[in-house]
Structure 1
Amino acid sequence: MSSPTADVSVRIAWSDDAGAIAALQLRTWQEQYAGLVPAEALPSDVAAATAAWQESLRKPQDARNRVLVALERNRVVGFTITGPATDPDCDPVADGELQELTVDPGERGKGHGSRLLQAAIDTLLADRFGRAVTWTVATDDALRVFLSEAGWAPDGAHRTLDLDGSGTTLVKQVRLHTAFS
């Protein structure tokens, strides 16, 4: 007798997923940026975020921009965004970017992040990228360890984002990379 398995999967996001992605993103940002960014500086309007996601999913700026969702019993529990790398020292034809990898905090440790990351890499390979980069918050040790264990490594690049344009809400990031061979 076998034990039941969870109903989990990863697929390309549909525009109908926009509301779930927006709610997950805004909720996760509250935790991810706690202590780094004042809570009131983070977006909180789920309706506006949903509209932006719907537009993005319906009309991506580049055919290689992809959003993948992790599902558990048809409920969105995570998402990732891939596309061409936009950094000036990257080649947008050869270099892809893992723009975001988000898993609902209450759903972590269940394999969703690993499934999303593998699907993102498969997608980047299908889009013929030979290398990928991603930016992580400098203090997000858990994400950096997760990516390092999957073969990503720092490449020496770093940046500071000025989130409110005033110089008071700064977020330091480091860039990781991986090569596909």
Structure 2
Amino acid sequence: MDFTIRPATVDDAEAMALMQVQSWKESYGHLLPPEFFEKQEAALPDRIERYRAFIAAGHTRMLAHDPDGHLVGLGAAGPGQDEDGPCERELYMLYTLEHVHGRGVGQALVDALIGDGPAYLWVLDDNPRAEAFYRRNGFVPDGKRQLCDPSWYSLPEHRMVRPSVGL
């Protein structure tokens, strides 16, 4: 699949918010009730404004577009936010639409966001496709677990860490 990777601009905020919620429906529909997604759709105007503010403040988000210019993936990384973080870089988010799974979009975003250096991330339990993808990229669970906030129905998640590619 042909696609392009580039940093987001404030003009991308609406497409980013819409794509993220669609990705959640596709990836987490088996984990969350319909009410969760209804709330997310109702909150789209707020999410769009938050994205605009983040991007305007210099918080990079990377985007993947298909040949027709449709947004099919987005991701973000930066300084680790955990007090006991195992390394300095955290992959905050990585979302791709289901119809591009297995086509290299997620990999291209990971490469653009964290390269081959040390990083960590949080992944929801009962998300085998994502966990397998991260394992292929050298991430392994480090035993740290937590519950998402109540707006995410306190779903359990676990941390995965990668010292660096090839180690």
Deviation at 1:37, TM superposition (A): 2.3
Give the aligned partner of residue 3 of structure 1: none
Deviation at 1:180, TM superposition (A): 3.0
Counterpart-to-counterpart distance in 2, 1:13 and 1:157: 31
> Please, which of 60, 73, 90 is the counterpart of residue 85 of structure 2?
90
> Please, which of 36, 48, 51 is the counterpart of residue 50 of structure 1?
48
1:66 aligns with 2:60: yes
Give the aligned partner of residue 103 of structure 2: 110
Counterpart-to-counterpart distance in 2, 1:86 and 1:132: 12
Give the aligned partner of residue 150 of structure 1: 137
After TM superposition, what 4+ stretches of structure 1 lie above 6 angstroms from structure 2?
none
CA contact (8 A) 1:22 1:49 kept: yes
CA contact (8 A) 2:26 2:97 kept: no
Amino acid in the other structure paired with 1:104: L
CA contact (8 A) 1:136 1:175 kept: yes
CA contact (8 A) 1:152 1:177 kept: yes
- 2:102 is paired with a residue of what secondary structure? coil
Q: TM-score, normalised by structure 1?
A: 0.80
Counterpart-to-counterpart distance in 1, 2:23 and 2:103: 17
> Is the deviation greater in 76-85 or in 35-44?
35-44
- 1:164 is paired with a residue of what secondary structure? helix
Give the aligned partner of residue 33 of structure 1: 28
Counterpart-to-counterpart distance in 2, 1:177 and 1:59: 28
- 2:155 is paired with a residue of what secondary structure? strand
Matched residue count: 161
1:72-130 CA-to-partner distances (Å, cap 9, x unmatched) read 12321101110111111027xx51100111001122222111111111123xx7xxxx6
Identity %: 25
Counterpart-to-counterpart distance in 2, 1:164 and 1:174: 18
Deviation at 1:25, TM superposition (A): 0.6
Deviation at 1:27, TM superposition (A): 1.2
> Please, which of 4, 7, 13 is the counterpart of residue 8 of structure 2?
13
- 1:170 is paired with a residue of what secondary structure? coil
Deviation at 1:56, TM superposition (A): 1.2
| Structure (1 or 2) with the greater helix fraction | 2
Counterpart-to-counterpart distance in 1, 2:157 and 2:151: 16
- 1:101 is paired with a residue of what secondary structure? strand
The unaligned stretches of length 5 or more in structure 2 are none
Deviation at 1:47, TM superposition (A): 2.6
Counterpart-to-counterpart distance in 2, 1:52 and 1:39: 23
Deviation at 1:7, TM superposition (A): 4.0
